[in-house]
Amino acid sequence: MTIRVLLVDDQALIRAGLAALLNAEPDIEVVGEAADGVVAVASARALRPDVVLMDISMPGMSGVEAGGLIVTESGGQSAVLILTTFDLDEHVYAALTAGASGFLLKDAPPEELIAAVRVVARGDALIAPHITKRLIGRFAANQRAVGQATSRLAELTERELEVVMMVGQGLDNKQIARQLFISESTAKTHLNRAMVKLELSSRAQIVAAAYSAGLVTPGAVDN
């Protein structure tokens, strides 16, 4: 199955380089490009890409705002992978809150970028480890998020709660299935039901909720 990618960056040279890199992979195809957030939303609506590779800083609508709209309008079918030169907590936090599935810096090695596209395409979350460590403290300090997550987590079944905790630990569906002795499709079903109950739209937000609610504590994930 080919992963269909929409590239969003206001610099034509960067888009050209990313397109050349990704199109060289046998399982990835760049199906469209956009130079700003407004065009990105319209293009995602028309093309229905599997992954939107999105810059944050663009004229007009930012990548965070555009990414949030794309995730919402696609019902989570289009995963947003944020690619930026700015390693700032507020950007990461805003992107995850908006529903982005991953966050990667533009100086990442080509092979890491290609792997990231594949990771978010299959429904997993990807955040650079050094960024994840910093975010743990921020999520833990957000008392409002802690209260909301705790009240909603009470609505989950025991198995759904286990799955949420494992996602927070960084496990993918296959690893969760193996640990719980269930099928991968059953693990995915439990996760989807938990996301509906928690009113979350991405796997990355599940990770955030797990930290906020204290299901996963700093040091529990080896990043």
| DSSP for 84-126, written as a single string | ES---HHHHHHHHHHT-SEEEETTS-HHHHHHHHHHHHTT--E
**195 phi and psi angles, rounded to 5 deg:** -65, -40
Q: For the structural domain made of 143-212, what CATH number should be given?
A: 1.10.10.10
**What 8-state DSSP symbol labels residue 57?**
-
Q: Residue 63 in 3-state DSSP?
A: helix
pLDDT given for residue 134 in this prediction: 53
Any alpha helices (H) in the chain, and if so which ranges?
Answer: 12-23, 37-47, 63-73, 89-98, 110-121, 129-141, 143-153, 158-168, 173-180, 184-198, 203-212
Write the single-letter amino acid at 170.
G
Residue with tokens 């407004």: 38
Res 12: pLDDT: 95
- Looking at residue 150, its pLDDT comes to 61
Query: CATH says 3-134 is which class?
Result: alpha beta
User: DSSP secondary-structure letter at 154?
Assistant: T
CA atoms within 13 A on the CB side of 30: 19
| 143-212 and 3-134 share a CATH fold | no
The residue ranges of every structural domain in the chain are: 3-134, 143-212
One pLDDT digit (tens) per residue for the chain, 223 residues: 899 999 999 999 999 999 999 999 999 999 999 999 999 999 999 999 999 999 988 888 888 899 989 998 998 889 999 887 765 556 666 777 778 888 788 888 999 899 989 988 987 766 655 555 455 455 544 545 545 656 778 899 999 999 998 888 878 888 899 999 999 899 989 998 998 888 776 776 777 778 777 777 654 444 4
Which residue from 76, 200, 191, 204 is spatially nearest to 131, judged by alpha carbons?
204
Task: Enter the DSSP assignment of 50.
Answer: S
